Amino acid sequence: MRRFADRIDAGQALAAALARFAGRDDVVVLGLPRGGVPVALEVARALSAPLDVLVVRKLGVPGHEEYAMGAIASGGIRVLSQVVIKGLRISEAAVAEVVAREEGELSRREAAFRNGRPALELAGRTVLLVDDGLATGSTMLAAVRAARAKGPARVVVAVPTGSAEACALLAKEADEVVCLDTPEPFRAVGLWYEDFSQTSDEQVKACLRETRSEVKKAPDRG
């Protein structure tokens, strides 16, 4: 299985697999901040499609935050893994505390990334949901449900790498899952990148500014 040099390399490889969506007026690319946005930028650029963010937050197990017990997304979407919560005997109060904290961070990121701009219209469109990879799939599942609530014609999950289990989970809710590689054993997304440096808020905002600038420069197809 391949290892990507970085998120730009991964995005370019993913864009090639999504070439059939290029040049279509009904296609929208949504990156999951933070790490999914640089990947999504390469996809949006290659497809000549508008780029936006769909903000999601993992709900980490108290004391082991890297392990997801669920996720939340814009629009009040909440996904909880009862298997994890019951298996680790996490109390309702502890879950509520994590949810409240992450809702605050989600709101902060929404405000920071959008800077007063409205979200792109999704109704009747084909939405490509892009992240840098799928481990448990919980954050992407929340994203799929958040996007679906906006009435799109089609929801496509697109990632460079992911666990087979997560891809199977998403295939039950998305219209299509495009995943370039499903390494076994998977373990973690970062293992499949040479450079998996953390993406900053400023980098996310720069990606969004860049794609808006390119859209303004593009000639009118009509």
Q: What is the pLDDT along the chain (222 residues), one digit of tens a residue?
A: 789 999 999 999 999 999 999 999 999 999 999 999 999 999 999 999 999 999 999 999 999 888 889 999 988 899 999 989 999 999 999 999 999 999 999 999 989 998 888 889 999 999 999 999 999 899 999 999 999 999 999 999 999 999 999 999 999 999 999 999 999 999 899 999 999 999 999 999 999 988 776 544 444 444
* Contact assessment for residue 78 and residue 70, using Cβ atoms and an 8 Å cutoff: yes
What is the number of structural domains in the chain? 1
CA distance 65 to 74: 20
pLDDT at 214: 59
In a domain, 148, yes or no: yes
In a domain, 50, yes or no: yes
Strand residue runs (E) in 100-153: 126-130
Q: What is the pTM of this model?
A: 0.91
In a domain, 62, yes or no: no
Containing domain of residue 182, as a range?
7-54+121-217
In a domain, 100, yes or no: no
